Amino acid sequence: STDAITYNEILQIVQEKDRKLTDVRLEALTSQHQLHQLKDQIAQMQHEMQLLRLENERLQSGTHVTNGYVTSNPSSPFHLKLSPLAASTGHHFSSPSSPEALNNFNPALSQIDEGSQLHFVVETPFSGKSPQTKGDEDILIGSVPVARKTNWAELDQMTGDIFMEYCKCIDGEARLGLSIASIAFYKVGEQTRIPGSRPPELLPCAFIIGDVNSVKISLKDGSCGSVDLMAFKSLVPRETLQRYVTSLMHKTRIMLHGPSGTGKTYLANSIAHHMVSRARRQVMTTEPIFVYDVKQRGEEDLNVYLRKVAEACKTSAYSSLPHVIIVENNHLLQSLTQTYSPIVELPPESKCPYVIGTILQGKAHQNEEHRHEFTWLSCKNNSVHVKNYMARFLRRSVVEAELRGAATPDDDFQNMLRVITWLPLCWHQVNRCLESQSPADVTIGPRVFSSFPVEFYASCSWFVQVWNHVIAPYVIAAVRRIRQSQSSTPKPWSDPTQWVIDSFPWNASDMGSDITLRLKRISSDDLDCPPVPPRDLESTPKHNSLQR
Say if 378 falls within a structural domain. no
Cα 528 to the chain's mean position, in Å? 42
For residues 257 and 270, state if they share a domain.
Answer: yes
Say if 45 falls within a structural domain. yes
Q: If you average pLDDT over residues 390-404, what whole number do you get? A: 88
Say if 332 falls within a structural domain. yes
* CA angle (431 as vertex; 471, 440 as ends), nearest 5: 110
Per-residue pLDDT at 278: 84
For residues 409 and 360, state if they share a domain.
Answer: no
Residue 430 backbone class (left: φ over 0; alpha: ψ -120 to 50; beta: rest): alpha
Per-residue pLDDT at 541: 43
For residues 249 and 125, state if they share a domain.
Answer: no
For residues 19 and 44, state if they share a domain.
Answer: yes
Q: Is the pLDDT of residue 521 over 70?
A: yes
For residues 283 and 156, state if they share a domain.
Answer: no
Per-residue pLDDT at 80: 27
Mark which of 61, 80, 109 sits at the end of a domain: 61
- pTM for this model (two decimals): 0.74
For residues 17 and 100, state if they share a domain.
Answer: no
For residues 434 and 511, state if they share a domain.
Answer: yes
Residue 24 lies in domain: 1-61
Segments in 318-469 forming alpha helices (H)? 336-344, 361-364, 384-387, 389-403, 410-435, 456-466
pLDDT in tens, 119-175: 999 998 765 444 444 445 789 998 888 888 889 999 999 999 999 999 998 998 899
Mark which of 20, 38, 61 sits at the end of a domain: 61
Q: Is the pLDDT of residue 340 over 60?
A: yes
pLDDT bracket for residue 292 (50, 70, 90): very high
pLDDT in tens, 453-511: 988 889 999 999 999 999 999 999 888 888 887 777 788 888 899 999 999 999 888 78
Per-residue pLDDT at 115: 65
Query: 130-144, 416-430, 437-451: which range is least confident on average?
Result: 130-144
For residues 153 and 210, state if they share a domain.
Answer: yes
* CA angle (291 as vertex; 285, 297 as ends), nearest 5: 115
Number of domains composing the chain? 4
- DSSP character at residue 457: H
CA-wise closest residue to 95 among 167, 47, 42, 158: 167
Say if 365 falls within a structural domain. yes
Q: Is the pLDDT of residue 402 over 50?
A: yes
For residues 31 and 175, state if they share a domain.
Answer: no
Highest mean pLDDT among 202-211, 227-236, 308-317, 395-404: 227-236
Q: Is the pLDDT of residue 332 over 80?
A: yes
pLDDT bracket for residue 294 (50, 70, 90): very high
Q: If you average pLDDT over residues 198-227, what whole number do you get? A: 89
For residues 127 and 211, state if they share a domain.
Answer: yes
Mark which of 61, 94, 109 sits at the end of a domain: 61
Say if 232 falls within a structural domain. no
pLDDT in tens, 48-62: 565 555 455 545 544
Say if 224 falls within a structural domain. no
Per-residue pLDDT at 113: 42
Specify whether the CB–CB gap between 256 and 356 falls below 8 A.
yes
What gap in Å lies between CA 435 and CA 427, rounded to an integer?
12
What gap in Å lies between CA 308 and CA 306, rounded to an integer?
5
Instruction: Catalogue the long-range contacts made by 65-68 (C-beta closer than 8 Å, 24 or more residues apart).
Output: 65/115, 65/147, 65/149, 66/90, 66/91, 67/91, 67/154, 67/157, 68/146, 68/147, 68/149, 68/150, 68/151, 68/154, 68/155, 68/157, 68/158
For residues 398 and 541, state if they share a domain.
Answer: yes
Per-residue pLDDT at 307: 92
Say if 283 falls within a structural domain. yes
For residues 118 and 263, state if they share a domain.
Answer: no
pLDDT bracket for residue 235 (50, 70, 90): very high
Q: If you average pLDDT over residues 235-239, what whole number do you get? A: 93
Higher per-residue pLDDT: 206 or 43 = 206
pLDDT in tens, 66-100: 444 444 333 322 222 333 333 332 333 333 344 44
Specify whether the CB–CB gap between 108 and 81 falls below 8 A.
yes
What gap in Å lies between CA 134 and CA 373, rounded to an integer?
35
Q: In the predicted model, what is the mean pLDDT of the chain?
A: 77
CA-wise closest residue to 341 among 326, 332, 352: 352
Per-residue pLDDT at 329: 92
